């Protein structure tokens, strides 16, 4: 939320919204936002709590988002990219770019292995577990999204490590103006 730094009146899309955790956090924000969540799983969306008036969720595939070019000021994708196949990541990142207006912001959150420090070992162990048992633990796969974001045309504006809960890398990227 700190990296996103949402502003009054912004249109925000949360991709891979799941049970709506990001939407829940956005709804606590005092700004008057307009947020939409999409997920390919209707079962996950059924667990999204009541949202502020005008907010909505819908079933959609991140590989082909049902929104026009530049429809959003900001897009979030929390713990989505690492559950995709490596071959799907470029197409999804391209869709995240497409639906952002020029100058719009993207925040991604992915499990990651810290570059140094005592938690590096833990991050590596979780990543190995995810790769050995993808069906049960695939969501813990470490993924640095920066190369894919830059390749799609995003500019990386900031990165933040979250070492509470999942070891995660939060990336703020911009669609060039
Ligand atoms: C690990 S969950 C993260 C949920 C939520 N963003 C969070 O942080 O709690 C990943 C979500 O991505 C969704 N997902 C996976 N592939 C998708 C795709 N191609 N299009 C849309 N959603 C997808 C899954 O259904 C799942 O709800």
- Ligand 1 centroid to 55 CA: how many Å? 18
Reply yes or no on whether the pLDDT at 152 is more than 70.
yes
Mean pLDDT value across residues 107-128: 92
In order of their start, the domains of the chain are 11-113+141-174 (3.40.50.150)
> How high is the pLDDT of residue 103?
98
Reported pTM: 0.96
Q: Which atom of ligand 1 is nearest to the CA of 84?
A: 16
Per-residue pLDDT band at 30 (split at 50, 70, 90): low
Reply yes or no on whether the pLDDT at 35 is more than 80.
yes
> How high is the pLDDT of residue 164?
82
- Ligand 1 centroid to 95 CA: how many Å? 15
- Of 112, 84, 109, residue with least CA distance to 172: 109
């Amino acid at each position: 939320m700190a990296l996103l730094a949402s502003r009054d009146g912004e249109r925000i899309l949360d991709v891979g919204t799941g049970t709506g955790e990001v939407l829940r956090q956005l709804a606590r924000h005092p700004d008057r936002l307009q947020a939409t969540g999409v997920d390919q799983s209707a079962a996950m969306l059924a667990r999204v709590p009541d949202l502020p008036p005008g907010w909505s969720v819908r079933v959609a595939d991140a590989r082909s988002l049902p929104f026009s070019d530049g429809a959003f000021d900001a897009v979030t994708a929390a713990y989505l990219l690492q559950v995709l196949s490596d071959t799907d990541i470029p197409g999804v990142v391209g869709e995240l770019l497409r639906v952002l207006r020029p100058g719009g912001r993207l925040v991604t959150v992915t499990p990651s292995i810290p570059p140094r420090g005592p938690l590096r070992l833990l991050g590596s162990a979780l990543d190995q577990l995810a790769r050995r048992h993808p069906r049960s633990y695939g969501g813990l796969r470490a993924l640095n999204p920066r190369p894919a974001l830059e390749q799609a045309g995003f500019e990386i504006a900031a990165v933040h490590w979250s070492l509470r809960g999942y070891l995660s890398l939060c990336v703020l990227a911009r669609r060039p103006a």
